[in-house]
Amino acid sequence: PAVKEIPRDDDLAEESRNRLVRDTCKLLELRGSWTPKLEAQLRHLLRVLSPPQVRAVLRAQAQTDARAAFEFFRWADRQWRYRHAPEVFDEMLSLLSRTRLHDPARRVMRLMMRRRMRRGTQQFAHLMLSYSRAGKLRSAMRVLQLMQKDGCAPDISICNVAVNVLVFAGRIDKALEFSDRMRRVGVEPDVVTYNCLIKGLCSVRRVVEALEMIGVMLQNGCPPDKITYYTVMGFLCKEKRVAEVRALLGRMRNDAGLFPDQVTYNMLIHVLAKHGHADEALEFLRESEGKRFRVDEVGYSAVVHSFCLNGRMAEAKEIVGEMISKECHPDVVTYSAVVDGFCRVGEIDQARKMMKHMYKNGCKPNIVTHTALLNGLCKAGKTSEAWELLNNSGEEWWTPSDITYSVVMHGFRREGKLKESCDVVAQMLQKGFFPTTVEINLLIHALCKEGKPAEAKDFMEQCQSKGCTINVINFTTVIHGFSRQGDLESALSLLDDLYLSNRHPDVVTYTVVVNALGKKGRLKEATELVKKMLNRGIVPTLVTYRTVIHRYCEKGTVEELLDLLDKMLARQELKSVYNQVIEKLCALGKINEAYSLLSKVLRTASQRDAQTCHILMESFLNRGLAVQSYNVACQMFQRNLIPDIKLCRKVDNQLTSKKQPAAGKLMVKFLERGLLKQEK
């Protein structure tokens, strides 16, 4: 029997304009507020839709949400007296293969098997691609086993998909092994297979093997095409290996009979220019012109842009003049690149002249050109002039974008003119543009740094009232600003506002407030706040530990500190926490409290513990307490930790000068362990 021909994409495009398809899509847009009446209308439409029209509906739904397309597919398949045609199943699988929705794709395939519909390698390839996009490489390769169990023999198309999946996942060695297995089962690799393998080899910088594979292709009777050579040439251009590129051009002509054409030279020019190799790109451009290939404004623009990025404006300007003389008129992209290049090197006057040159040649500057000029003025410290040009944009017949406003805002911020920077943001909001949370935070941080946290708070609230996205980081920055000024009540009030606005403080917010409370001696409130943080499931960081240890040790509340640390360690273990406590106590001169914690440190007997013991011994020695320092060294020996011999000599000398009974005993311990040669 003749196989029914599946409609092509052109036919589906025509079906998408059908009134039935449009009405169905409109009903599906209302699925969030469906009623039994709407569902009945959709059911009626479904019964009169042809399979190509159902495919058109699925494709229209998948453009916005592939999951919604699958839901419609499931709903339609469950309706009474309706069954999807095989091409509808194929369309659904094809749409899901472009997404990460592997589970819906697997369910569609199982439904096809259950209904004994025709299944070929193309359907299994769609399922494999869906698994691959979801990062499930093992499941993707298992599709081959599923296909063989289903009685479908592998062909070159499914094998190429498998090779592509392995290369995309970075498993180039596995892809090479798979190509060998293909030959063993009687599937010979074609040019697509080799191109995919060569691309994978170049991506992991194994270009020698890629060149060898081109030779293997010729030996196996599979002539390489231009894509094969372009792939390797692209990698060599990135590495600026022009001599090897020319050698490969010779091989392409002599071995495969493929002659370089205009597309070849355009590719070389663009790749070299993109990676900053302007001289080499210009060399190929000249060679292309010598062979009477026409280089358009796009090719010239690539070279011009590359020279501009390298700051070589004389060469860029010369090429623009050459373009005009050859009646290859530069477009706005070319001119914008030159204006931006002059601004990068600080030649603002030259940038202005280039813009006048644009008008003279009938090319009107666009928003990118004006933004580049404003950016150059801001970097040159002339933000006020840039702000004036921005305000006069209406007279110049151009409309600023959010990026344009951001450029001027950052210019004022860098110059320390924070009031003007806030004015730019206010005008930005009036125009309907919203600064990002990062930009808002940069201004807030600058205001707080100048000791103006109240203004920072007002600015943040103004942005929030206009609809800007304000996150926890913005609140934390203002809280930190109030804390630095010693205005703890305002910081705590802002923390309450954070809770009320249904935003959850993070570990940085809690650490900032705990530090401020500890600085004011309000350790009870700090303790409650840390407990609240732990109860919310927030894990303390190293900075949190250091802050808590510093503030509690500073106030001498060691017992409360140890209780709090036990609760913190239950949430997030930190091996060096007691080391930090002892070292901080030593730094604050509270060595007796530090000595009482020595047993907690010597449990692990690590090199970090030895370092802490040395700090404690030094602290005792500086106070003339050589006996206590001697006791620390003895405890180290008991835990098989070797004290520093120079430090022990200082201890021994101090013990000897004070005629202590322990004088000389440390040196004996070194002798017993063979760590010190016996002296007379």
Q: What is the pLDDT of residues 344-384, one digit of tens each?
A: 888 999 999 988 888 888 888 899 999 999 999 999 999 99
* Averaged pLDDT of the chain: 88
- Best CA proximity match to 460, nearest among 441, 484, 488, 432: 441
Residue 6 pLDDT exceeds 60: no
Surface-to-core class of residue 386, CB atoms within 10 Å of its CB (0-12 exposed, 13-18 middle, 19+ buried)? buried
Give the pLDDT confidence of 610-626 residue by residue, as tens digits.
888 889 899 988 888 88
Q: What is the pTM of this model?
A: 0.68
Distance, in Å, from the CA atom of 81 to the CA atom of 84, rounded to the nearest integer, reads 10
Distances (CA, A) of 241 to 209, 235, 237, 261: 16, 9, 6, 20
Give the pLDDT confidence of 635-676 residue by residue, as tens digits.
888 888 888 888 888 888 888 888 888 888 888 888 877 766
Query: What average pLDDT does range 528-537 have in this prediction?
Result: 91
Distance, in Å, from the CA atom of 50 to the CA atom of 55, rounded to the nearest integer, reads 9
Residue 160 pLDDT exceeds 70: yes
Band the pLDDT of 10: cuts 50, 70, 90.
low
Q: What is the predicted pLDDT for the residue at 486?
A: 87
Distance, in Å, from the CA atom of 47 to the CA atom of 62, rounded to the nearest integer, reads 21
Residues in the chain: 680
Q: What is the predicted pLDDT for the residue at 640?
A: 82
Band the pLDDT of 680: cuts 50, 70, 90.
very low
Tokens of 232: 């390797």
355 within 8 A of 365, measured Cβ to Cβ: yes
Distances (CA, A) of 617 to 261, 488, 620: 79, 39, 5
Q: What is the dihedral of CA 289, 293, 294, 300, to 10 degrees?
A: -50
Residue 2 pLDDT exceeds 60: no
- Best CA proximity match to 507, nearest among 534, 538, 548: 538
Q: What is the dihedral of CA 644, 646, 649, 651, to 10 degrees?
A: -60
Q: What is the predicted pLDDT for the residue at 677?
A: 60
Query: What average pLDDT does range 542-559 have in this prediction?
Result: 89
Q: Supply φ then ψ for residue 387, to 5 degrees.
A: -65, -40
Give the pLDDT confidence of 117-151 residue by residue, as tens digits.
888 999 999 999 999 999 999 999 999 999 988 88
Q: What is the predicted pLDDT for the residue at 387?
A: 92
Distances (CA, A) of 418 to 154, 289, 444: 67, 53, 9
Distance, in Å, from the CA atom of 652 to the CA atom of 650, rounded to the nearest integer, reads 5
313 within 8 A of 342, measured Cβ to Cβ: yes
List CB contacts of 138: < 8 A, sequence separation 6 or more: none
Give the pLDDT confidence of 443-458 residue by residue, as tens digits.
999 899 888 999 999 9
User: 């004006």: which residue's tokens?
Assistant: 370
CB atoms within 10 A of CB 450: 13
Band the pLDDT of 3: cuts 50, 70, 90.
very low
Q: What is the predicted pLDDT for the residue at 661?
A: 83
What sign does the dihedral 523-525-527-530 (CA atoms) show?
negative
Q: What is the predicted pLDDT for the residue at 7?
A: 52
Band the pLDDT of 110: cuts 50, 70, 90.
very high
∠ Cα 21 26 30 (to 5°): 140
Runs of H (alpha helix) within 255-366: 262-274, 278-290, 297-309, 313-325, 332-344, 348-360
Q: What is the predicted pLDDT for the residue at 1?
A: 35
Give the pLDDT confidence of 474-503 residue by residue, as tens digits.
999 999 999 988 899 999 999 888 888 888
498 within 8 A of 505, measured Cβ to Cβ: yes
Q: What is the predicted pLDDT for the residue at 12?
A: 63
What amino acid occupies position 504? H
Q: What is the predicted pLDDT for the residue at 516?
A: 92
180 within 8 A of 193, measured Cβ to Cβ: no
57 within 8 A of 92, measured Cβ to Cβ: no
Distance, in Å, from the CA atom of 617 to the CA atom of 619, rounded to the nearest integer, reads 5
Q: What is the predicted pLDDT for the residue at 4?
A: 43
CB atoms within 10 A of CB 79: 13
425 within 8 A of 411, measured Cβ to Cβ: no
Determine the longest span between alpha carbons in the chain, in angstroms: 114
Percent of the chain, pLDDT > 90?
Answer: 41
Most confident of 1-5, 187-191, 577-581, 659-663: 187-191
Percent of the chain, pLDDT > 70?
Answer: 97
List CB contacts of 126: < 8 A, sequence separation 6 or more: 93, 94, 96, 97, 105
Give the pLDDT confidence of 278-293 residue by residue, as tens digits.
999 999 999 998 888 8
Q: What is the predicted pLDDT for the residue at 5?
A: 46
Q: What is the predicted pLDDT for the residue at 298?
A: 87
Query: What average pLDDT does range 298-305 have in this prediction?
Result: 90
Q: By mean pLDDT, which of 55-69, 188-202, 658-672 is the weakest? A: 658-672
Distance, in Å, from the CA atom of 334 to the CA atom of 23, rounded to the nearest integer, reads 46
User: Which position has the higher pLDDT, 680 or 462?
Assistant: 462
Q: What is the predicted pLDDT for the residue at 668?
A: 82
619 within 8 A of 585, measured Cβ to Cβ: no
What distance, in Å, lies between the first and last C-alpha atoms of the chain? 110
Give the pLDDT confidence of 590-610 residue by residue, as tens digits.
888 888 888 887 777 778 888
